[in-house]
Chain A
Amino acid sequence: MSRQYNPAIDAYKNMDIENMPADKKEPAGTGLLMRKSSSEESGLDVSNPLIRVAKNMQVIRQYRQEAKDANG
C-alpha cells in the first residue's frame, strides 16, 4: 500500500484510552449541599474535546470486545 504519511495512524496511536482515569461515580445525593460534579476530582476535563473523543472510543471499544467475544 501507500507509504504516504497518514495522520490518522498517529492520531489513533496517541489516544491512550487504556490508561485514562475512570470517572468516579458518587452515590446520588439529594440534599442541597451535595457536590455537583465528580469530573474535576477524577482529573478528567470534559470540556477538552480530546477527552470526549476518548470516551466515545472507550464505549465503541467495549462493543468491539463484545463482538469479538461473540464471534469467538
Chain B
Amino acid sequence: MLTDKVQFNAPIPGESLTAELGGRPWQTPPKLATVDEAIDYYMERMSSEDFMEQVVDVLESGVPVATIANTLQLASVMDGIHTVDVGTLVVPVIMEMMMLLADSADIEYKTGLEEEKEEITDSKIAKAVSKYKKSVKESDIAKPKEVETKEEPEVEDEPAGLMARRK
C-alpha cells in the first residue's frame, strides 16, 4: 500500500557500527557457553505455564513452529544468552519441544517443514502475460514476416477493340 508519508526511518549504512565495541549484549561473552546449558535453559523456560499457554495460542493462530523457534533463539542471541552457533544447534530441540506442547494440547498447527505450494496470484499471471507479450514482440522484430506474394500467371488482356485481330 502506498501511503502519503514517505518513510525515512531505515538505518543509515554503518549505523550498527556506531555503538561502542562491546556495548551490545551479543558482543559480550555469552551467559551459556555450551549446548547442554542452552538446552536446560530452554527446557526450564518452556516448562512454565505462561509460556505453554502463549505458545499454544500462537501456534493455533497459524504461525509455524519453525518461525517461533527461530525467533526465540535469535532473541536469546540478541540478549547475549548464547551464541549464534549454539542457537542453531539447539533450535531442533526447541522445535521438538514446541511440537510436544502442541500435541499435548491437541491442537492443529503448522510445523513450517511442509512443502509450500506455489500460489498462483494475479500479479504472477500479469507478469507471465507481459513476459509472453514481450517475447512475442521481440520475435516479431527479429524475424520480419515475409509477405507471401503469389505470382499470378500473367493473363494477356484480350483486345476487345474493333480493330483487334481475330483468332
Q: Please give the residue numbers on chain A whose beta carbons come within 8 Å of chain B beta carbons, in ascending order.
A: 1-3, 6-9, 11-13, 15, 49-50, 52-53, 56-57, 60-61, 63-64, 67-68, 71
Chain B residues touching A, range: 20 to 34
Known pairs A1-B63, A6-B70, A7-B91; A67 contacts B113 (CB<8 A) = no
Told that A3-B116, A8-B67 touch, could you supply 6 new A-B pairs with CB distance under 8 A? A9-B66, A12-B113, A49-B34, A53-B92, A61-B96, A63-B100
Interface check B89, CB cutoff 8 A: yes
Chain A positions within 8 Å of B69 at CB level: 8
Mostly helix, strand, loop or mixed at chain B's interface?
A: helix
Chain B positions within 8 Å of A63 at CB level: 100
Asked if A7 and B96 make an inter-chain contact with CB atoms under 8 angstroms apart, the answer reads: no
B89-111 near A? 1/0 per residue, CB < 8 Å: 11111111101100110100000
How many A-B pairs have beta carbons closer than 8 Å: the answer is 74
Mostly helix, strand, loop or mixed at chain A's interface?
A: helix
Interface check B55, CB cutoff 8 A: no
Asked if A64 and B103 make an inter-chain contact with CB atoms under 8 angstroms apart, the answer reads: yes
Interface check B32, CB cutoff 8 A: no
In the bound complex, how far is the Cα of B73 from the Cα of A68, in angstroms?
26
B45-74 near A? 1/0 per residue, CB < 8 Å: 000000000000000001110110110010
Which residue of chain A is the closest to B97 with respect to CB atoms? A60
Asked if B103 and A71 make an inter-chain contact with CB atoms under 8 angstroms apart, the answer reads: yes
Q: Please give the residue numbers on chain B whose beta carbons come within 8 Å of chain A beta carbons, in ascending order.
A: 34-36, 39, 62-64, 66-67, 69-70, 73, 88-97, 99-100, 103-104, 106, 112-113, 116
Pick 27 A–B contacts, CB within 8 A, sort by A.
Answer: A1-B62, A2-B67, A6-B112, A7-B70, A8-B67, A8-B92, A8-B112, A9-B112, A11-B88, A11-B89, A12-B95, A12-B96, A12-B113, A49-B36, A52-B36, A52-B39, A53-B35, A53-B90, A56-B39, A56-B93, A57-B96, A60-B100, A61-B96, A64-B103, A67-B103, A67-B104, A71-B103
